[in-house]
Structure 1
Amino acid sequence: MAERIIVRLGDPILRETSKKVSAITPQVEKILDDMAQTIYAGKGRAGLSAIQIGIPKRLVVMDCGSGLVELINPVLLEKSGEQVGQEACLSIPGVFGIVRRANYVKVQTLNRQGETITIEADDFLARCIQHELDHLEGILFIDHVKELFSAKTGKKVSLQDLHRMLFDRRRR
């Protein structure tokens, strides 16, 4: 397993639609392993989609507090209820926003053995799933927010400030 480099806001790949995984090969399993290593190296980060490491495949790994969950070609079957809460993203470091999501989701996905499974989730896990499924469609959490806030200060951040923050980090 190897930690992967996270693609940052501004890279056009984050706006691409991810493609279906045609077969669960050793290469796909290695990508999943590397993704898990990457989120655990991120000190408490909840999830990661393959597009965030530059691979436009429909793969997601998450650990929202109950152990590792892997999604291969996930499809949202149902959603209901409502929750409003903070979200952040490894691809957009240093900021968070308040996002409205469904409180319950039902997702059909494949596991590593190629079996179709159904996952039902609510609360934080439902939020994580929706955030990661958005990534598979080229949607970022900032597309859902009215305001962004600095993770350090809690003060409002404009999109222009956000781009400046990310650009300054890349030059260092």
Structure 2
Amino acid sequence: MPRNAEPVRRRLQETALALFTQHGYEAVTAAEIAAAAGVTERTFFRHFPDKREVLFGGEQELAPALRQAIAEAAGTKPLKILTAAFRALEPHLLRNRPFALPRAHVIEANPALRERELTKRAALQTAATEALITRGTPPRQAALAAQVGMALFTQAIQDWMQDPAADFNHQLTKAQSDLKTL
């Protein structure tokens, strides 16, 4: 994709989210999103393979960023490594924060989108597991740490989205504290 593709991609995502919020996910077509964004339907499909993916467009950046953050994190304990890696993802999360809550509402209202979100989360968990194994964590422990880590990450994200003044790192620390209490 050309360098100037990112603004078009972002405009398609913003437009889709606005239309989904206003009319409901099922009522909006890819052609309508493209027209409202001022591009052709063909352009839409150059950026997204299907209508669902317009809501999950940032995901392809997140897994490689998580793998790199895990590789670069200090320490040897898998959960500490994951926590440090999740903190390193904050710039990615901040970039998408204005869309996070409305996107969550659209996803929550549609079972097929909830399923897709779980699939994306599982892919992120797999990326974390593989990155921990690459660092030398035994596979069974890496898989368990990734499961627990994704639960922490998911809880921190949910709390962070609900409070506009919240700091992601603070929410992650809170989730860790809750885990220790449990």
TM-score (norm 1): 0.28
TM-score (norm 2): 0.27
Which structure has the larger Rg over C-alpha atoms? 2
The structure with the greater share of residues assigned to strand is 1
